[in-house]
C-alpha cells in the first residue's frame, strides 16, 4: 500500500501540478502562497494516503487540501490583503463536493507571468516553473545560468506578482497580443524539453511535449487571428507528425533526412499546413511562422522525394536576420553546407561567440558535419567527440559515434 500510495502521489504531481497551481493562483492571487499550499497538500498526501488509501479522485483531494491551507493563511492576512480571496476560497471549498471538475487556468496564469511589470528575463522561466512544474535547476540549464541565480530571479518575480497585486483575469485581445510573444516562447520551450527527452526519461519530462501541444492548441483557439499563435501550433504539429519516425523498432535514432515519410502522421501535417496558410495571410514576419515554414519544406519530401535546400536557405536567412537565435544560426550553417556552400557554413559557425556555443551540442554536431564536407576529417572528428560528450541520449550517442552526420 505504501508503495502504491507514493506512486499515486508522484503520478498526481506529474500530471496535475501545473493545473492545480494555476487554479489556486488565479483564485488566491498569490503565486508563492499557492505553491506553498500545494507543497503542503502533496506532503499531506504522502502521510495520509499510505494509511487511509488513495482517494478515488486524487486531484480533487489535493485541491481541497491546498485550498484549506490557503484559506487558513488568508485568515491571518485578510486585513492586509483584503477578505475577497478568502471568502471566494471558503465558498468554493464548501461547494467542492458538488463540482466534479475544475477549470484549467494554466493559460490565464501564463499571461499573468508575462505581465509587463515582470522582469522580461524572468517571464519564460517563471511560466516554465509555475505552469509546467520544471525546477529551477532544469530551467537554469536551458537558459545557460546557475540554479542559484535562476532561483533568485524566480523568487523576485513571484514577489512582484504578490506585491504589485497583478490581476489574474481574462485579458482582452489587445492585452493578450502584447504578452503573446513571451507566452508562445514558454510553450515552445516546454514542448522542446519534452521533444528532446531521452528514452527512459521521467514521464513528467516526456509529458511536457503533450502539455506543449495542449497549450499551443488552446492559444491558437483563443487567438485565432494571431498569426504567431497559429504559427507555433503549426510548428509543433509538424514535429509531432514526425515523432513516429524518429526511432526504429530497436530505439535507434533516425535523423530527419533518413526518416521514412510513410511513418509521418498525415492528419497532423494537413492540420499544420492549414494553420500555416492561415498565419501567412497576415503578410507579417513571425519567428514561429518561419520555423513552421521550414518544417513544411521538410515534410514536402514525403510528396516530392526531394528536399528543397534553396528554399530552406531563404527561410533560414530570413529567420537569422529577424530572430537570430542560436538554434537558427547553427541550423542555417548546416543548411548552407548541404546546399553546396560548406565554406559559408563554417564562416557562420566561426562567427558565433565561443562562450555561447561551448556547451551547445547542436553547434558541435553541425560543425562536425560542415568540416567533414570540407574534407577536414581530423577537425570533424574532434568536433564530433565534443558533441558526443555533450549528449545524454544513448541512442543519439550511438548514432553520432558512427560519424553518420547531422541530426534534426
> Distance of CA 193 to CAs 93, 132, 150, 288, Å?
35, 11, 17, 17
- Measured distance CA(154)–CA(21) in Å, rounded: 15
- Asked if the model's pLDDT at residue 78 lies above 70, the reply is no
Burial 263-302 (b: 16+ CB within 10 A, else e): ebbeebbebbbebbebbbeeeeebbbbbbbbbbbbbbbbb
- Asked if the model's pLDDT at residue 295 lies above 50, the reply is yes
User: Quick one: pLDDT at residue 189?
Assistant: 83
User: Quick one: pLDDT at residue 405?
Assistant: 57
Per DSSP, 395 falls in state: H
Give 24-72 pLDDT, tens digit per residue: 888 887 888 898 999 999 999 999 999 888 998 899 899 999 998 888 7
Q: Phi-psi category of 340—alpha, beta or left, where left has phi over 0 and alpha has psi -120 to 50?
A: left
- Measured distance CA(48)–CA(42) in Å, rounded: 10
- Measured distance CA(232)–CA(328) in Å, rounded: 15
- Measured distance CA(342)–CA(333) in Å, rounded: 8
User: Quick one: pLDDT at residue 221?
Assistant: 86
Judge whether 4 and 52 are in contact, CB under 8 Å: no
The residue among 143, 285, 127, 149 whose CA lies nearest residue 208 is: 127
User: Quick one: pLDDT at residue 83?
Assistant: 47
Averaged pLDDT, 364-392: 96
Give 117-150 pLDDT, tens digit per residue: 888 888 888 888 887 777 777 777 767 678 888 8
- Asked if the model's pLDDT at residue 197 lies above 60, the reply is no
Say which range, 18-22, 88-92, 241-245, has the weakest mean pLDDT: 88-92
User: Quick one: pLDDT at residue 135?
Assistant: 75
- Measured distance CA(272)–CA(288) in Å, rounded: 12
User: Quick one: pLDDT at residue 104?
Assistant: 73
The percent of residues above 70 in pLDDT, for the chain, comes to 85
- Asked if the model's pLDDT at residue 388 lies above 70, the reply is yes
Q: Which residue has the higher pLDDT, 408 or 148?
A: 148
Judge whether 361 and 390 are in contact, CB under 8 Å: yes
User: Quick one: pLDDT at residue 96?
Assistant: 45
- pLDDT band for position 207 (cuts 50, 70, 90): low
Q: Which three cell numbers stand for residue 404?
A: 553518420
Say which range, 177-191, 220-234, 360-374, has the weakest mean pLDDT: 177-191
> Distance of CA 263 to CAs 79, 244, 259, Å?
61, 6, 8
Averaged pLDDT, 89-109: 56
Q: Which residue has the higher pLDDT, 21 or 198?
A: 21
Averaged pLDDT, 349-363: 95
Question: What pTM was estimated for this model as a whole?
Answer: 0.76
The percent of residues above 90 in pLDDT, for the chain, comes to 45
- Asked if the model's pLDDT at residue 94 lies above 50, the reply is no
Q: Which three cell numbers stand for residue 39?
A: 507543497
- Asked if the model's pLDDT at residue 99 lies above 60, the reply is no
Average pLDDT over the chain reads 84
Judge whether 254 and 278 are in contact, CB under 8 Å: no
- Measured distance CA(101)–CA(396) in Å, rounded: 41
Residue 51 CB partners (closer than 8 Å, separation 6+): none
User: Quick one: pLDDT at residue 311?
Assistant: 97
Give 148-174 pLDDT, tens digit per residue: 888 888 888 888 888 877 766 666 767
Averaged pLDDT, 356-375: 96
User: Quick one: pLDDT at residue 406?
Assistant: 63
Averaged pLDDT, 332-359: 96
Amino acid at each position: 500500500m505504501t508503495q502504491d500510495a507514493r506512486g499515486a502521489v508522484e503520478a498526481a504531481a506529474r500530471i496535475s501540478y501545473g493545473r492545480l497551481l494555476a487554479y489556486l493562483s488565479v483564485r488566491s492571487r498569490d503565486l508563492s502562497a499557492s505553491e506553498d499550499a500545494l507543497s503542503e497538500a502533496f506532503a499531506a498526501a504522502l502521510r495520509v494516503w499510505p494509511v487511509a488509501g488513495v482517494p478515488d479522485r486524487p486531484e480533487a483531494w489535493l485541491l481541497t487540501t491546498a485550498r484549506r491551507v490557503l484559506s487558513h493563511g488568508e485568515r491571518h492576512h485578510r486585513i492586509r490583503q483584503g477578505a475577497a480571496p478568502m471568502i471566494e476560497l471558503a465558498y468554493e471549498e464548501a461547494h467542492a463536493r458538488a463540482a466534479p471538475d475544475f477549470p484549467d487556468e494554466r493559460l490565464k496564469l501564463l499571461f499573468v507571468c508575462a505581465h509587463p511589470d515582470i522582469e522580461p528575463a524572468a517571464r519564460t522561466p517563471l511560466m516554465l516553473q509555475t505552469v509546467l512544474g520544471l525546477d529551477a535547476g532544469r530551467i537554469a540549464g536551458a537558459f545557460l545560468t546557475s540554479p542559484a541565480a535562476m532561483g533568485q530571479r524566480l523568487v523576485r518575480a513571484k514577489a512582484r506578482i504578490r506585491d504589485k497585486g497583478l490581476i489574474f483575469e481574462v485579458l482582452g485581445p489587445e492585452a493578450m497580443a502584447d504578452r503573446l510573444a513571451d507566452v508562445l516562447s514558454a510553450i515552445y520551450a516546454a514542448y522542446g524539453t519534452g521533444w528532446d527527452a531521452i528514452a527512459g526519461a521521467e514521464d513528467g519530462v516526456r509529458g511536457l511535449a503533450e502539455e506543449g501541444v495542449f497549450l499551443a492548441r488552446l492559444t491558437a483557439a483563443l487567438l485565432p487571428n494571431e498569426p504567431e499563435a497559429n504559427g507555433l501550433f503549426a510548428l509543433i504539429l509538424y514535429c509531432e507528425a514526425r515523432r513516429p519516425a524518429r526511432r526504429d523498432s530497436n530505439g535507434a535514432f533516425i535523423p530527419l533526412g533518413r526518416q521514412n515519410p510513410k511513418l509521418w502522421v498525415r492528419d497532423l501535417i494537413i492540420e499544420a499546413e492549414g494553420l500555416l496558410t492561415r498565419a501567412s495571410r497576415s503578410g507579417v514576419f513571425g519567428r514561429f511562422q518561419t520555423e513552421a515554414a521550414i518544417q513544411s519544406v521538410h515534410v514536402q519530401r514525403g510528396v516530392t522525394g526531394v528536399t528543397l535546400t534553396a528554399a530552406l536557405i531563404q527561410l533560414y536567412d530570413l529567420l537569422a536576420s529577424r530572430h537570430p537565435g542560436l538554434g537558427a544560426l547553427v541550423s542555417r550553417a548546416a543548411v548552407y553546407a548541404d546546399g553546396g556552400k560548406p565554406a559559408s557554413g563554417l564562416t557562420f559557425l566561426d562567427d558565433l561567440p565561443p562562450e555561447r556555443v561551448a556547451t551547445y551540442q547542436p553547434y558541435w554536431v553541425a560543425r562536425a558535419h560542415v568540416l567533414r564536407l570540407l574534407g577536414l576529417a581530423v577537425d570533424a572528428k574532434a568536433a564530433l567527440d565534443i558533441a558526443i560528450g555533450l549528449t545524454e541520449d544513448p541512442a543519439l550517442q550511438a548514432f553520432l559515434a558512427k560519424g553518420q552526420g547531422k541530426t534534426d
